[in-house]
Amino acid sequence: MTRALALAVVAFWLALIGWVTHGFSSFTTYSVALAEAGPIPRPAPDFGFTDQAGVAHRLRGFRGGWVLVNFLYLDCPTACPITTNKLSQVHEALEASMPGTVEFLSIDFEDDPRDRAREMWLAHGAPKHWSIGVISPGTADATLRDYGVYVYRRPDGLINHGVYLFLIDPAGELRRAYTPEPGPAVLARLITEEIQGKAREP
Amino acid sequence: MSRKIVGLVVAVAFVALLSPPLERALVATMPRLLLAEVPALLALGLIAGSLRRSGPLRFDPNGLASLAFFAGALGFWMIPRAVDAVALGTIAATAMRVSLFSAGAFLGVGLRVMPFVARGALAVYSVAMVFALGLIYSNYRALLCSSFTLSDQLMVGKTLLYLTPVALVTGITLTARSLRRELPHSKTHGRVELRGAETARARSR
């Protein structure tokens, strides 16, 4: 009796943890938002943005090439600069090994001034094949939700948000969502493998 | 201090933890939530459980279900998503408070009858939890709980790592004490058996 009760209690907690974490796969609010946005691969949600030069684009305009998208805001004091610095090294590595194959899009979702995006782009050495743009007004929330980027606006003004890097293939299919955690060298290798078709199926 | 007074203090402290001003203050930062509120709830529950006069719970005579409930509750509320839910929603916050207090209370009752091995497992689990969380929060360079800040996370991680040796020493001490308590008990049993055998022999004579 008592052993059965103990097992029932264990089963209860395991079921609850399994439910909350999408089958023991998503333990943070960020990863849950990503899982809830839909399975990967899936068609990449389209969005519009204005790049550092003031040119308006849509994501679908980049069809035919590989695109790496990430979302940030320009006043972000922690996660965004860390991610952008890693991204900068990934960009360097990929430009060295397969120049022009991947278009990098870093998209500001806070409607920050475009000049600031340009400053940031210049601060990273005005890299080719890397746009730092501002998302079209009024579309940020829906775009972030569609991509599965969780955003929490803290009372102190900080915005905590998912820092995933989304790899989109030439057909406009969202192929992978990477966390920047593994570091630039690993990310560059993973992206290269995906592009060369060596990666395991997502 | 009498049981009544201790019970009253526990009840007042628990109600205070549920009161909106304190509740808001405790969930405002990650260190307050994970290093103050969670241990406080468990400790209050433990004290409340240990105040029970009668023996073990009828449905849990050896404390294993209490141990399972405690381990599950602690594990569940350490998941970053669950921590976020507590910080952002009243229902989750109340569920956490009630479940952790209950987990402590059940454990307080169950500990008295729990076999030595289960107590040892509890000590290992608790120390491992403190160490693992410390390691994760102090080393992970991305934010795990979306409601807080990276510096909060780092502080919690470092504090938990500093607390690990304390938890280890406490765990070893309590386990050793529990083992010591178990050993004389079995000796007593031996004596009782011996006396019983002597009585039986005397009777047969």
Confidence label for B196 from pLDDT (cuts 50, 70 and 90): very low
Element (H, E) at B162: helix B150-204
pLDDT digits (tens, 9 = 90+) for A5-41: 889 999 999 999 999 999 999 999 999 999 999 999 9
For residues A129-146, give the mean pLDDT.
Answer: 94
Q: Which residues of A touch B88 (CB under 8 A)?
A: 152
What is the pLDDT confidence band of residue B199, given thresholds at 50, 70 and 90? very low
So what's the pLDDT on residue A93?
A: 95
Whether the pLDDT of residue B141 is over 90: the answer is no
Chain B CB contacts of A161 below 8 Å: 146
Please judge whether A79 and B143 are an interchain contact, meaning their C-beta atoms are less than 8 angstroms apart. Answer: yes
pLDDT of B191 reads 47
Q: ipTM score of the complex?
A: 0.84
- Predicted confidence (pLDDT) at residue B14 exceeds the cutoff of 80: yes
pLDDT of residue B57: 77
Give the whole-angstrom CA distance, residue A136 versus residue A107.
10
Q: Among A5, A7, A9, which would you mutate to test the B interface (most chain B Cβ atoms within 10 Å of its Cβ)?
A: A9
Residues of A whose CB is below 8 A from B75: 13, 17
Average pLDDT of B6-29? Answer: 90
| Residue B69 C-alpha, separation from nearest chain A C-alpha, in angstroms | 6
Q: Is A55 on the interface with B (CB under 8 A)?
A: no
Stretch A154-165: mean pLDDT: 92
Q: Does the CB of A16 have a partner CB in chain B at under 8 Å? A: yes
CB pair distance less than 8 Å for A29 and B140: no
Nearest chain B alpha carbon to A163: B142
HEC string for chain A? CHHHHHHHHHHHHHHHHHHHCCCCCCCCHHHHHHHHHCCCCEECCCCEEECCCCCEEEHHHHCCCEEEEEEECCCCCCHHHHHHHHHHHHHHHHHHHCCCCEEEEEEECCCCCHHHHHHHHHHCCCCCCEEEEEECCCCHHHHHHHHCCCEEECCCCCEEECCCEEEECCCCEEEEEECCCCCHHHHHHHHHHHHCCCCCCC
Which pLDDT does position A201 carry in this prediction? 58
| Predicted pLDDT at B126 | 93
Q: Which of residues 22-41 of A touch B (CB under 8 A)?
A: 26-30, 32
How confident is the model over B94-115, as pLDDT tens digits? 999 999 999 999 999 988 888 8
State the smallest CA–CA distance between residue A200 and chain B in angstroms: 26
pLDDT in tens, B76-85: 999 999 999 9
The answer to whether residue B152 neighbours chain A at the CB level (below 8 Å) is no
CA dist., res. A181 & res. B50, Å (int): 45
> Could A13 and B147 be called an inter-chain contact, meaning their C-beta atoms sit closer than 8 Å?
no
d(C-alpha A97, C-alpha A192), whole Å:
9
Compute the average pLDDT of residues B37-51.
Answer: 93
